Amino acid sequence: MPNQKPYRPNVGIALFNTEGRVLIGHRFKGDGPEIILPGLDWQMPQGGVDDGENLRDAAMRELWEETSVTSAAYLGETDWLTYEFPPYDGPQTHRLAKFRGQRQKWFALRFTGKDDEIDPLTPRNGQPAEFDAWRWERLDRVADVVVPFRREVYQAVAQQFAAFAN
């Protein structure tokens, strides 16, 4: 029987520094169906879109909530991409349990600030920290350090944003 649950609207952010590398964060815990696996616990910032929220505004909000970064300039965006959550046997009251996966629009942004602006540990906007560390990584290597259920989306993002990685 096919999964009839909807996809959760979501934005992802590929934040490029001046060397063409992207910011990735180390997830220190799973979140319901959004599991992490040892050695595959890095990802780019991403998050849900509020009802009626402009997608570019959602990307900037999520970037700030997860990293404190506000110094970023728009470069481009993808079409919608989707991924399925892995099977989830946890509480069906979890905020993500009502979704089959995520429907994402990815935004490429150029970081215009300094590295000391990046702070993934301080909670912002009432949201708990998702990352306990961060680093700059080559875009074409990020798919190798994410959980397998996100890998195809990350490969598509790397292909579509390759011009910004130079």
Tens digits of per-residue pLDDT, 59-68?
A: 999 999 999 9
Please report the pLDDT score of residue 97 as a whole number.
Answer: 87
Task: State the Cα–Cα distance between residues 126 and 162, nearest whole angstrom.
Answer: 34
One-letter-per-residue 3-state SS of 110-150: EECCCHHHCCCCCCECCECCCEEEEEEECHHHHHHHCCHHH
CATH topology of domain 7-164: Nucleoside Triphosphate Pyrophosphohydrolase (3.90.79)
Segment 5-27 mean pLDDT: 97
**Domain layout of the chain by residue ranges:** 7-164
pLDDT at 43 over 80: yes
Residue 43 bridge partners (DSSP) = 25
Q: What is the pLDDT of residues 99-156, one digit of tens each?
A: 999 999 999 999 999 999 999 999 999 988 999 999 999 999 999 999 999 999 999 9
* Residue-level pLDDT at 1: 55
Determine what percent of the chain is predicted with pLDDT higher than 90.
81
Is the pLDDT score of 2 beyond 70?
no
What pLDDT band is residue 74 in, cutting at 50, 70 and 90?
very high
Give yes or no for a contact between 99 and 7, defined as CB atoms under 8 angstroms apart: yes
pLDDT mean over 68-88: 95
Q: pLDDT value at position 33?
A: 76
pTM greater than 0.75 (yes/no): yes
Sign of CA dihedral 122, 128, 134, 137: negative
Percentage helix, strand, coil, to 5, in the chain?
25, 35, 40
DSSP for 32-43, please give it: TTB--BTTB-EE
> Residue 38's pLDDT band (boundaries 50, 70, 90)?
confident
Taking residues 72-77, report their average pLDDT.
Answer: 98
